[in-house]
Amino acid sequence: MLPTLTDRQKAIYDFLLKTIRERGFAPSIAEIGKQFKIASTMLDRKPSANQQVIVITDGQPTAYCRQGRLYCEWPLSFGGISQRAAEETLKEAERLTRKGITINTFMLDDSPVLRGFVDDLTRINKGRAFYTRPDRLGEYLLVDYLSHQKKKV
């Protein structure tokens, strides 16, 4: 016997099934999060003085919501960036910033274009970015716009 799902859980479950049927594979965590604005909704429910969103990414913005609809866009060239996805992601960063929510980003790539995007996001939010690569997870460059520091760890 399956447990009873809340309306929100059912909507996420239906989204997963629909995406798998249409594409043949499951949506990414970013796509699910964008579709349902999970982080923002959770933070709205439990306000506190120190609200944060932690993002682990390769720096490539590919999924975004517009008018309640999820869009996924890949860049036109290797190492490039989808301009529309980048703009929508930065708008969401601005919205979270206005609400006083800090974004801490762990970037797992060293592409200059993608690092530039993560730097823009971090600067807009006055948050923190930890830059590293999958083969060097113990070493990272911290860029902290909260305390205006940059250091190699």
pLDDT digits (tens, 9 = 90+) for 36-91: 566 666 677 777 777 888 888 888 888 777 777 777 887 777 667 888 888 888 98
Report how far apart, in Å, the C-alpha atoms of 147 and of each of 115, 124, 126 are: 20, 14, 9
- Structural domains in the chain? 48-152 (3.30.420)
Residue type, 53: V
**Rounded Cα gap, residues 39 and 54, in angstroms:** 9
**Rounded Cα gap, residues 63 and 107, in angstroms:** 17
Q: How confident is the model at residue 94 (pLDDT cuts 50, 70, 90)?
A: very high
pTM, 2 dp: 0.66
Residue 70: beta bridge partners?
A: 65
Interhelix angle 29-36/38-45, nearest 10 degrees: 50
**Cβ neighbours of 121 (radius 10 Å):** 25
Tens of pLDDT, residues 107-129 = 888 888 888 999 999 999 999 88
For residue 36, the Cα-to-chain-centroid distance in whole angstroms is 12
User: From start to end of the chain, where are the E strands?
Assistant: 52-57, 63-66, 69-72, 102-108, 128-132, 141-144, 149-152
